[in-house]
Each structure stands twice: as C-alpha cells, then as structure tokens.
C-alpha cells in the first residue's frame, strides 16, 4: 500500500499490518532519517510484527508522473 503525501507513524504502519498488508511505499520526505537505496527496509512494530518499506525514487517518479511529454517516444526503446 502506498501512503501518498501523508504523514506516517508506527500506529499507521500497525494498522496496515493488522489488515494483512505486507509492505508499503514511502517518499523520502516521510522518513525520519535518510536512507540509501529503495529498500526493502524492515520496520519492527510493537506487536513483534514488522512491515517492509520501500522508498520511492522521488525525482524519477515525479518525472514519469508529471513530465510524460519527455517520454513520448518511449516505444522506440522499450521491447
């Protein structure tokens, strides 16, 4: 589950786990401390359970989402 542009805390991650969600995707701005790479990172929760967290590449994601004209000829290099 992706928690877009929202604050996230351990209680929120616990709710995801309680509903069977195994991983989430966060933006770098949602992290308490910076990380290197996309993950996965394991976040341990109070219930002795954990959730996997992947960190999106914000510049790449934003470029693909908001600058699609730049990729208009993508079919030329995609198989």
Which tens digits make up the pLDDT trace of 25-74?
A: 998 888 888 888 888 999 999 878 999 999 988 777 777 777 777 767 76
Cβ distance 14 to 44 under 8 Å? Answer: no
Q: Interior CA angle at 17 toward 48 and 64, to 5°?
A: 125
* Cross-strand bridge partners of residue 3: none
Domain ranges of the chain: 10-72
**pTM score, two decimals?**
0.72
* 36: its two tokens: 């290197």
Q: What is the pLDDT of residue 63?
A: 77
Q: What is the pLDDT of residue 44?
A: 94
- Name residue, tokens 């470029």: 63
Q: What is the pLDDT of residue 76?
A: 64
Q: What is the pLDDT of residue 38?
A: 87
């Amino acid at each position: 589950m992706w928690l877009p542009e929202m604050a996230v805390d351990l209680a929120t991650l616990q709710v995801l786990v309680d509903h069977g969600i195994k991983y989430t995707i966060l933006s770098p701005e949602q992290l308490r401390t910076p990380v290197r790479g996309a993950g996965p990172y394991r976040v341990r929760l109070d219930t002795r359970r954990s959730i996997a967290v992947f960190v999106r590449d914000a510049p790449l994601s934003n470029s693909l989402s908001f600058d699609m004209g730049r990729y208009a000829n993508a079919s030329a290099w995609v198989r």
